[in-house]
Amino acid sequence: MGGKLAGIKIAMLGGDDREAILHKELLHLGAEVEAVGVPGVSAGEDYNCHEALLKAVQGAGAIILPVRGIDQEGLIYAPQSQFPLYITWELAAAIPAGTPVLIGVARPLLKEMAAAHGWQLYETADLDEMAILNAIPTAEGALLLAMQELPITLHGSEAFVIGLGRTGFALARVLDGVGARVTVIDRGAADRARAYREGWQAYPFSDMANIIKQADVIFNTVPALVLTESLLAQTKPEVLIIDLASAPGGTDFEAAAALKRKALLAPGLPGKVAPKTAGLILARIYPTLILNSLQQP
Ligand code: NAP
């Protein structure tokens, strides 16, 4: 079959429903895809994980690891695989220098492997084109969680959003859309001006101690400790905190528990609440990313 990825072998190692959608799109674009641990793609009868992974990466022009990534022991996220899949140093040695390796977020082990073997490592979750689109299902997922957990409607509630980046902005918009009274906390004067332009209240972090007691629900998107014990102590006892920032989040969860505040870390929302949309986002972005990376000198 022709297509812009014709003649390119791509190894897909692990993943969930999102990668299954991406797998279809890569085939549709003519790539030769060897997938191990991707839902719905047969692994064969006589299954030897290491051999299957090795065979997949041999001769591959690009390697796709799951958006959810691999852990620090090298375990590849593959919830529907019957067997655990590991990226080992031996497997890594079979991936030649210059090979594009795509993953959502890379932990130190993978970064070490990439540096040792000279791969082009792409952490796709932080690419603007991915993060801006993923902010939509993330915002909807956060809204869903808030609706499930709150005893009041979001309409008319005091909803705080900490950090007006890609996720924070999309979230503030949907909260506004359902009639919440939106307050944004951000360190940047320009972002606070944008919030003001949208009709939201906007404050710097230095004002948080004065206003946090108004919040019915607080969404954090800042990947640094911002909801400290002293701030948590000033929140309403019935406040709901939804922390969207990457683990460990930006909330002192121990302090929140001690103060009996309900605080939830909510990772991976796009894959949970809208796997099809999240898969289509991958399908939209990865083929071009792979082609561009293969054209690099
Ligand atoms: P982003 O666009 O970079 O926004 C991050 C925001 O945090 C910006 O407003 C940034 O301010 C602010 N910030 C960063 N470090 C700060 C610090 N030390 N003090 C004060 N403010 C700080 O990132 P994003 O794409 O919105 O993602 C935000 C977080 O959500 C990340 O951790 C990401 O991994 C996570 N995420 C989670 C999900 C989920 O499903 N839970 C989905 C997508 C993303 P400046 O602009 O001034 O730097």
pLDDT (tens digit, 9 = 90+) per residue, 45-87? 456 788 999 999 999 999 999 999 999 999 999 999 988 999 9
Identify the residue with better confidence: 159 or 51: 159
Q: If you average pLDDT over residues 217-233, what whole number do you get?
A: 98
Question: If pLDDT is split at 50, 70 and 90, which confidence band does 43 have?
Answer: low
- Closest Cα to atom 5 of ligand 1: 165
Residue 42 has pLDDT above 70, yes or no: no
Residues of the chain with pLDDT > 90: what percent? 93
Residue 269 has pLDDT above 50, yes or no: yes
Assign domain 132-266 to its CATH architecture.
Answer: 3-Layer(aba) Sandwich (3.40)
- Closest Cα to atom 3 of ligand 1: 165
Per-residue model confidence (pLDDT) at position 44: 52
Residue 213 has pLDDT above 60, yes or no: yes
Q: Among the atoms of ligand 1, which is closest to the Cα of residue 168?
A: 26
Between the CA of 47 and the centroid of ligand 1 the distance, in Å, is 41
Q: Among the atoms of ligand 1, which is closest to the Cα of residue 169?
A: 26
Q: If you average pLDDT over residues 243-255, what whole number do you get?
A: 96
Between the CA of 116 and the centroid of ligand 1 the distance, in Å, is 29
Out of 3.40.50.2300, 3.40.50.720, 3.20.20.140, 2.40.220.10, which CATH number does the structure's domain 9-126+274-294 have?
3.40.50.720
Instruction: DSSP for the chain, please give it.
Output: --STTTT-EEEEE---HHHHHHHHHHHHTT-EEEEES-TTS---SS--HHHHHHHHHTT-SEEE--TT-B-TT-BB--TT-SS--B--HHHHHTS-TT-EEEESS--HHHHHHHHHHT-EEEEGGGSHHHHHHHHHHHHHHHHHHHHHH-SS-STT-EEEEE--SHHHHHHHHHHHHTT-EEEEE-S-HHHHHHHHHTT-EEE-GGGHHHHGGG-SEEEE--SS--B-HHHHTTS-TT-EEEE-SSTT-SB-HHHHHHTT-EEEE---HHHHH-HHHHHHHHHHHHHHHHHHHHT--
Q: Where in the chain is the domain with CATH 3.40.50.720?
A: 9-126+274-294, 132-266
Between the CA of 228 and the centroid of ligand 1 the distance, in Å, is 17
Between the CA of 175 and the centroid of ligand 1 the distance, in Å, is 18
Residue 228 has pLDDT above 60, yes or no: yes
Per-residue model confidence (pLDDT) at position 2: 67
Q: Residues lining ligand 1, CB < 6 A? A: 131, 134, 138, 163-168, 186-188, 221-224, 244-246, 266-270
Q: If you average pLDDT over residues 155-164, what whole number do you get?
A: 98
Per-residue model confidence (pLDDT) at position 146: 98
Per-residue model confidence (pLDDT) at position 297: 61
Per-residue model confidence (pLDDT) at position 45: 46
pTM of the model: 0.91
- Closest Cα to atom 28 of ligand 1: 221
Q: Among the atoms of ligand 1, which is closest to the Cα of residue 270?
A: 40
Residue 110 has pLDDT above 90, yes or no: yes
Between the CA of 221 and the centroid of ligand 1 the distance, in Å, is 5
Between the CA of 126 and the centroid of ligand 1 the distance, in Å, is 10
Q: If you average pLDDT over residues 194-205, what whole number do you get?
A: 98
Between the CA of 163 and the centroid of ligand 1 the distance, in Å, is 6
Report the residue among 105, 221, 226, 227 best suited for mutation to probe ligand 1: largest number of ligand atoms under 8 A from its CB.
221
- The span from the CA of 185 to the CA of 251, in Å, is 14
Residues of the chain with pLDDT > 70: what percent? 96
Residue 220 has pLDDT above 90, yes or no: yes
- Closest Cα to atom 25 of ligand 1: 166
Q: If you average pLDDT over residues 163-184, what whole number do you get?
A: 98
Q: If you average pLDDT over residues 158-165, what whole number do you get?
A: 98
Contact 246, 107 (CB under 8 A): no
